[in-house]
Structure 1
Amino acid sequence: MTEVALHAEGLGKRFGRTWALQDCSLELPAGRIAALVGPNGAGKSTLLHLAVGLLRPDTGWARVFGRDPRHDRDALADIGFVAQDTPLYPDFTATELITMGARLNRRGWDAGIARDRLTRIGIPLDKPVGRLSGGQRAQVALALALAKRPRLLLLDEPVAALDPLARHEFMQALMGAVGEYGTTVLLSSHLLADLERVCDHLVLLHTSHVRLTGPVDELLAEHVRLIGPRLPDGAAVPGVAEVIRASHTERQSTLLVRTDGPVDESRWTVHDITLEDLVLAHLGASAGATPSEVAA
């Protein structure tokens, strides 16, 4: 049986009268690198903060490797978290931050991981982090998180403000760490091209709800783009469980669909889709557009 790194059931958080996250249920298997995607305000940061125990849920619950991080101090030792603004004390050097991390984390802290990783990528250990570039600060935050040897690493938009080269270097460092330590990762980002290269699991949020979740390869295998003769309104397509997104011309229909069986390839040309195609199609459907109202 596959171990579950993060398990949520009916998880919800409300601020005033507004639900930031509602009825969130998901399971993230251990060993995965999961993409957490959705538009601004979908509830991504709220989910991450609930998962690490920084927020108290109004409904439901979240467990990390079967334990509640809000009430089990040992659970916190298994979690690494890099918040969206990569908060670091700007007057501290990387060496001082590593020393502080050792004093705050009595179990499992490995200062050598942080020092070696930063030295290897050329980040000075004796320079105040407030004087480092944005990409370098992100690397320092990642190194500190990895020094905990976390079983679950949560990253909230860690590369959003970085230039393409810095993003590439950060993602390379992340992949190397995952391969080396076997860490499970939940990575929130809008940059779908970056996520497609590294992630093997998807959690898609929209309007505070989970719209889609599962292994990326399985989700892509069951979704395809169909191109064929104009489909009459309301007509069913054998082998199609759901039309996610559609566009029509006078003579032709283009459909992005979720299949539940073989499609008649004498009538339809079948094309594979990308992770970006999948995400954008489901976000369009979640936004309330009818299939014919969303361009394929």
Structure 2
Amino acid sequence: MTGPDAPAALRATGLGFRYRTRGAPPLRDCGFTVPAGHITALVGRNGAGKSTLLHLAGGLLRPRTGEIRVLGDLPGSPRARARVALLTQDKPLYPRFTVADTLRMGAKLNPAWDQPAAARIVEEGDIAPDARVGELSPGLRTRVALALALGKRPELLLLDEPLADLDPVARGDLMATLMAEAAEHGTSIVLSSHVLPELEQTCDWVLLLRDGRIALSEDADALRDSHVVVTGHLDQADSLDGPPGPEGAARRHTVVHRRVSGRQLTALVRRRGLLRGEWHVEPAKLEDILVGHLQADATAGPTTAGARAEAAA
């Protein structure tokens, strides 16, 4: 259930935020719903507003316009603070604390603290309990910060580029930990990441920011089912327009992004009905879909096939 009455991990209406410095606002008139119980990929180019959105959801910032709710509560409220954990890019930890001190602090601050879970994440990284946090490598500090976040046993876990400091093996291990956490405890996870291939098998909901606005908020499987990558001769680009609707209105496929090489057209298409013409059609991977929507013109939006072919020629 994903309608207006569905349980929501995140829900925003007219959400906007602007920093006091000059420049375009990072978020403008954002409205979306992320259902509870999902692992959500928060995707966008640098400066799209991903960190700002997570800081708003975590209660570190307040909206300039509109509203955002986490698990039905206002971010920063006592109920929200008890139910939500936010791991930011800078991973604020006390550098002079030992790892054991850090976990003891977590236990004192969080009534639902899960010591075995937090200790397991630390032990899997071969981190000595008496090691000082400030002397750990960035990757090991990330593991300690994640142990602190998961030990809180949150209902909603917000992660801002959490795996950037880790090597590929450690990233795979921690992604597996996050998937197990979601499956076993029903934890809702919103994960901001630039490593798109790693989201393919992990995330089941997509929240895509483009130019400060929400471009996608959809189920990942539904996106895969509706998108294809087509390749064919440029002259038949008009055939990507769908057949007429029942009342004579044009029912068109949406070409999200296209690339022309000579007279060959390769396009990411969100199709509505059958494709006409002689096209080589392949299923789109989630990475193809995300990159295509990030490359789409955020101002004009995806165009119809005929207009695109005219512009390409």
Q: Same fold (TM over 0.5)?
A: yes
The residue type equivalent to 1:260 in the other structure is R
List alignment gaps of at least 5 residues for structure 2. 244-251
* In 2, Cα distance between equivalents of 1:248 and 1:199: 31
Alpha carbon RMSD of aligned pairs, Å?
2.3
**Corresponding residue for residue 87 of structure 1:** 92
Deviation at 1:256, TM superposition (A): 1.3
**Corresponding residue for residue 41 of structure 1:** 47
**Corresponding residue for residue 193 of structure 2:** 189
Deviation at 1:176, TM superposition (A): 2.6
Distance 1:123 1:149, change over 3 A: same
Give yes or no for the alignment of 1:279 onto 2:290: yes
Identity, % of aligned pairs?
Answer: 47
CA offset digits 1:184-240 (Å, max 9, x no partner): 100001000111121111111111111112111101111111222323676652264
List alignment gaps of at least 5 residues for structure 1. none
CA offset digits 1:233-278 (Å, max 9, x no partner): 76652264211112334543222111111213x6222111111211
Of the candidates 199, 208, 212, which is equivalent to residue 204 of structure 1?
208
**Corresponding residue for residue 255 of structure 2:** 243
Deviation at 1:83, TM superposition (A): 0.5
* In 2, Cα distance between equivalents of 1:250 and 1:135: 46
Q: Which SS does the other structure have where 2:86 is aligned?
A: strand
Q: Which SS does the other structure have where 2:216 is aligned?
A: strand
Asked whether the 8 Å contact 1:80–1:152 carries over to 2, the reply is yes
Q: Which SS does the other structure have where 2:13 is aligned?
A: strand
Asked whether the 8 Å contact 1:227–1:254 carries over to 2, the reply is yes
Give yes or no for the alignment of 1:260 onto 2:237: no
Give runs of aligned pairs for residues 154-233 of structure 1, distance below 5 A.
154-231=158-235
The range that moved more, 250-259 or 143-152, is: 250-259
Of the candidates 60, 74, 78, which is equivalent to residue 79 of structure 2?
74
Equivalent pairs, count: 292
* In 1, Cα distance between equivalents of 2:310 and 2:84: 43
Asked whether the 8 Å contact 2:234–2:309 carries over to 1, the reply is no
The residue type equivalent to 1:84 in the other structure is Q
Asked whether the 8 Å contact 2:56–2:75 carries over to 1, the reply is no
